[in-house]
Amino acid sequence: MSHSATLTLQSSLSQLPDQNRLRIFSGSANEPLAQEVATYLGLQLGPMVRKRFADGELYVQIQESIRGCDVYLVQPCCHPVNDNLMELLIMIDACRRASARQITAVIPYYSYARADRKTAGRESITAKLVANLVTQAGASRVLAMDLHSAQIQGYFDIPLDHVYGSPVLIQYIASKELSNLVVVSPDVGGVARARAFAKKLNDAPLAIIDKRRHSHNEAEVLNLIGDVKGKTAVMVDDLIDTAGTMLEGSRLLREEGADQVYACATHAVLSGPARERLFSGDFEEVIVSNTIPVPGHEDIEPLTILSVANLIGEAISRIHEESSVSSMFR
C-alpha cells in the first residue's frame, strides 16, 4: 500500500530575494518525486524535452533560459541504471552549456555505490567512477540521500550534501507506538546506521545479524547477536535489492522468538525475485521511501511507501539560501 506520511517542514524559500533564479528540472527516472519537491518549494518543474533516437541515444534540451540561475536536477540513478545515469550526465552538460551559474545534481539514489573499494584484484571502484563522471559533466554540487557507504562523500572533488531518509521512517515507526522494540542490523556493516536509528527511537536495544556473502546478491545468514525473543524486531538497511537479506533475516528473527518483524529501508530497488520474497515473507510491514519509483506497489501487500520529498525540498532550500543542511538532522 502507499502511504502519504511526510515530515512536516516549512520551506523558507519564499523569503529569498533571488527565488526567481532557482530552477528545478526532473529527469525521467522519478518525475513524481521531483514534482513533489517542486511543490514543496512553491515552484514548477522547468520545461525540457527528453527523447530517444532510433539507435537508443538520449537527447535533452532545456526549454527556458537558465543563464545565471541555480539549477537543481532531480534524477535517481535507478533501473534502467545506465540510461538514467547517462540522462543525468546529459542534463548536467546541457545546463553547463546554457550558462547556469550553479548546477546541483540531486541524486536520491546513487547507483554503482556497492563497489566502493577493491575487495579483489582487477576490480573497478565504480562508486568513484560515477563521481568522476558527474563532476566532469559539469556539476557544481551534489545532493545525495543515504549513500551505501559514507566514504563515497570523499570521492567527489565538489561539495556534496548527504541527507538521510531515516527521519521519515523513524517518524512513521514511532507513530505506530510499537511495544518492546528492538532495532536489528541485517549485517555488521550496517551497525552504525541501525544504532543511530535505535537512538532516535528512545534508545531501543540493538541486535545484529551475522551474515556471510558468498557472491553478489547471495547471502547466508549464520546467527544473531542480541536478544529478540518476545520483541518487535525492526530490521533497518539502506536498500532492498533482491530482498534475500531481509527474507533470511526475518526467518532467523522468527526462529529466535521475535513476535513481530518489520523491515525498513530508504531505497526500494526490488530487483529480480524481490517482490515475490516480500510477498511471501513473514513481515508485518515493509517500509520504504519513494526515492525510487515502485511500479505496481499495490500488489506487494506488506509494502508501505513514504515520501522524502519534503526532506529533499528543505535541503534544496537551505543550499540555495546558504544555510546549514546538517542541522536538519540534529
Give the residue numbers marked as catalytic. Answer: 211
* DSSP-H helix ranges across the chain: 31-41, 81-97, 126-137, 166-175, 191-200, 244-255, 274-280, 309-320
Output the nine-digit C-alpha cell for 85.
Answer: 545515469
The greatest distance separating any two alpha carbons of the chain, rounded to the nearest whole angstrom, comes to 61
Per-residue DSSP letter, 158: S
**Strands 58-62, 70-74: parallel, antiparallel or unpaired by DSSP?**
unpaired
Classified as helix, coil or strand, 141 is: strand
Output the nine-digit C-alpha cell for 73.
Answer: 536536477
Q: Report how far Cα 13 is from the mean position of its chain's Cα atoms.
A: 23
Cα separation of 138 and 93, whole Å?
6
Can you point out the beta strands (E) in the chain? 22-26, 48-52, 58-62, 70-74, 102-107, 141-145, 160-163, 181-185, 206-215, 218-225, 232-240, 260-268, 285-289, 303-306
